[in-house]
Structures are given as structure tokens and as C-alpha cells.
Amino acid sequence: MNTFTSTRRHFSSASDVVLVALVCVACGSHEALPQATPAETIPPSEPIVSWGIDPEVSTRYEYPVLGSSARRPIQLELEASTVSDAPESQISSPSGFALDGAGRMYIADGRQNRILIFEPDGSFSRTLGRAGPGPGEFQRLGPIAVMGGKLAAIDTRTRRIAAWDLVTGELVSDRPLWLPRQIWELSATAKGRLIGSYARADPDDPDDLYRHVVGITLTGFREIVYSSLPAWPRPRVRAPNQSAQMTNYYAVPVGTPASWYAVSPSDEVYITNGIEYVVIALDSDGKQRWVLSVPWPRSRVSEDEIEAAKQYMREVSAGWLTEVQLNQVNWPDLNPALSRNRVSTSNGAALRVDGLGFLYVFPHIPVPWATDERLRPVDVYASHGEALFGGTIPNANWQASHGDSILAVGLNADSQEWVASRNRIRWPGELQQLRDEARSRAQ
């Protein structure tokens, strides 16, 4: 089953899709953006057919590739970093991340099964939750999200969702999640909706895994299904695990796309399959609003990338994968169009949305997939699909956002301790005025 699904329609073909062709927006100011030319029909490509674009979608944009010489730098200005000078404030295994409107940083520690709260200046404040089987306790703490005055947290082992009142610190609910699989990502919108995703096999083909993007409630029920994206559109290697009497699957981590989604503060959901540079925007009811595509050139997978991937797979399989198995992998010929790097600005994600609602799309760049430490190219779009500019952004692990700020979490190179930092996004030159205007509208 290779189709895109939503609450409104089910599609398997993108033939006769009408799109609006836009001229290059390159590096000029916002005022210099050209007007759309008359609509024309463009033949659909295989990736579009495989995951389904609504042929009745009202607007579709095609943008040209922005050249590297036209890219303008986005700055991240450090506002605060976490201070972990006591055992109770140290982060051992971050598994969830959130920011609130005051600038507080929330880090879920999956090993300690507790949520650490840091004040806007980075100083440690307190913890919520602890290890255990009871209400407000966790056996494997996963993603978290701040919605209004509440903090929601997922236990991925017991499949429960708990919530605290952030003013009083009291646990206000702890309910089972009525979903077929555990939630691995969680976001909250300004309107108070929780959106997460889980992976589940296709009942008709157990080898096909799909990422289901859903809206959920604090009572644990699924409220809406936004999409079902192929989660394994890439080769996997099977290795029998004799000690556990099961088969482990290891995904080939090079030349392979990853479907992804991002959520805006105003309830829009953006999805991509990562193969081609194509992004679909959905409204709060799951209906397609617009589609954008860019003919990003897909680079060929190099021998160095394959060898780096083999070494990584040797390490993560802890010896279960043999050289014979690795040499029999049908390595892909081309890299995906959108980001698949494990170390990247978007933390491996192809899409991010900042706290003001602007969409950031991260194209793939042909460098060793696990060692990229350079500036990352990024294309920035307005919430209605208009291309704003192509830029570069420092390589920070962007995990959450609110307003002008993003939360980045990474290992300190000297101390090898986890550190969270809150950074303010600043766009280049006159483009910053667009952010200022968006901030004023949001207040």
C-alpha cells in the first residue's frame, strides 16, 4: 500500500495536477518577489504518485533551486544555556524537549524518567515525574510538549500520557493512550492541540512500516489522523538475534529518505516523504491547503558514504550483522533530496517550523552522512506557501521552538555532558522585518 491518507480523502494518483509556477526568489528582499505566472500542468513524478497529492488542491507552487551564492546567513544568538552544577540537574539521556512563552526549557530524561525544568536564565528550577509504575511516574519517559499552562509527557513503554499544571506543579491527569503503538514525537499548537506520530506496519504487508501523524487528547484518545507516510522507503538488513529469539532490522542509513512532519503554532501540519523536495501543507482538519516542490538535484551515493554507513551498522548491530550481509545490501544509487543527516541543524529532520509559524526545509547536501559540521542550507517559507529566501543556518540540534527562540540540545565537546541552549533566530538584513511583523501579530 503506497498511498497517502488523510481524514478527508484517499489518493493514489497525482495525474493532471495543476501547479502555480513561480520565478526564482533568490536572495532579494521580500518586496522583490515576483508574481506567479499563469498555471501550467507538470507531469507527475513517481514519488508524488506514491504518497498522493490531492488533485483538487487549490494551490501548488513550484520553485527553482536557490543557488549557493544567493544564500544568506541566518544567525542564532545564544540567550541562555542550562547550568547543571548538581546531580539532580544533570541530563543523562534526553528524550523530549519543550519551550514555554517565558523562555523556560523543559528536558525529558529517558534514563532517569524525570523532566528537568530550567529557568529562562538557564538555572535549574525543579523536576517533574520520577521512575515507577504509578500516576506521574514513568518506566520509559519519551516526548513532552507544553500546551497552554500544562506540560504533557508520554511513557513509551506503558503507553500513557500524563499532564502537570505548570503553575502549581500538580499532576492533573494520567491516562492510558488508546493508540496501537507508542508515540515517539509530540508537539503542541497555540490552540491547545497535541500532535504526535507513531509507526505501524501495513496489515497487508508487515515489512512496510508507516508513520501515522495524529492529533491526540490528554484523555489519551486519537482525535484526528493527518497522514500515513511510508516510514521505511529504504532497504533494511535482517539479522537473527539468537539470544532474544527474534529478528532485528537495521535500516540502511545512507542514500535513504525519511518521511517527516512539522507542526505550526496555528495548527497547520507539514509533511514530506523526503525522497523529492515536495512538501504538503494540511489544515487543522487534515485537508490539503497547498503543495510546494523544488527540483533539487539528488547527488549520487559515493563509496565513502557507503563505507561510513557500513561502519555505523557494524557498531549499532553489536556484531549481529556479518560482512556477508553488509556486502549483499542493495545500496541506493541516489541520495534523497531532503535532509537525512543524523547530525544536522534539524536533528535529522527535513522540516522544522519556528515559533512564529515560518517553515524551514532542509535539503540534503552530499557530505559524509554522520559527520557534517558545516553550515546547513535551508529554505524558508511563509505559512501560506510563499518562498521567502534561501539561507544557511548554524549546525545546532533544533529540538523545539517558541516565538523567536529555538531549543538546541547537544553534548558539550569538553565535558561530554548534555547541555540545552535557547537561541534567538535572526534573519539577514531587511528580512528580519518579516519576523518582527509576525511577532507583533502573534502578541
CATH number at residue 379: 2.120.10.30
Q: Give the separation between CA 57 and CA 74, rounded to whole angstroms.
A: 32
Domain count within the chain? 1
Q: Which structural domain range is residue 276 located in?
A: 10-81+91-442
Q: What's the pTM value of the predicted model, to 2 decimals?
A: 0.82
In a domain, 2, yes or no: no
Label residue 437 by pLDDT band (50, 70, 90).
Answer: very high
Residue 285's pLDDT is what? 83
Q: Give the separation between CA 117 and CA 87, rounded to whole angstroms.
A: 14
Q: Give the separation between CA 84 and CA 88, rounded to whole angstroms.
A: 8
For the ranges 166-175, 367-376, 418-427, the lowest mean pLDDT is seen at 367-376
In a domain, 98, yes or no: yes
Short-list 398, 349, 392, 348, CA closest to 370: 348
In a domain, 53, yes or no: yes
In a domain, 390, yes or no: yes
Q: Averaged over 151-175, what is the pLDDT? A: 95
Strand 59-62, strand 18-21: pairing: parallel
Q: Give the separation between CA 162 and CA 71, rounded to whole angstroms.
A: 43
In a domain, 3, yes or no: no
In a domain, 243, yes or no: yes
Label residue 224 by pLDDT band (50, 70, 90).
Answer: confident
In a domain, 1, yes or no: no
Strand 72-73, strand 387-393: pairing: parallel
Residue 203's pLDDT is what? 62
Copy the grid coordinates of residue 88: 539532580
- Measured at the CA of 245, the angle between CA 243 and CA 248, to 5 degrees, comes to 90
In a domain, 325, yes or no: yes
DSSP run (H or E) holding 306: helix 303-317
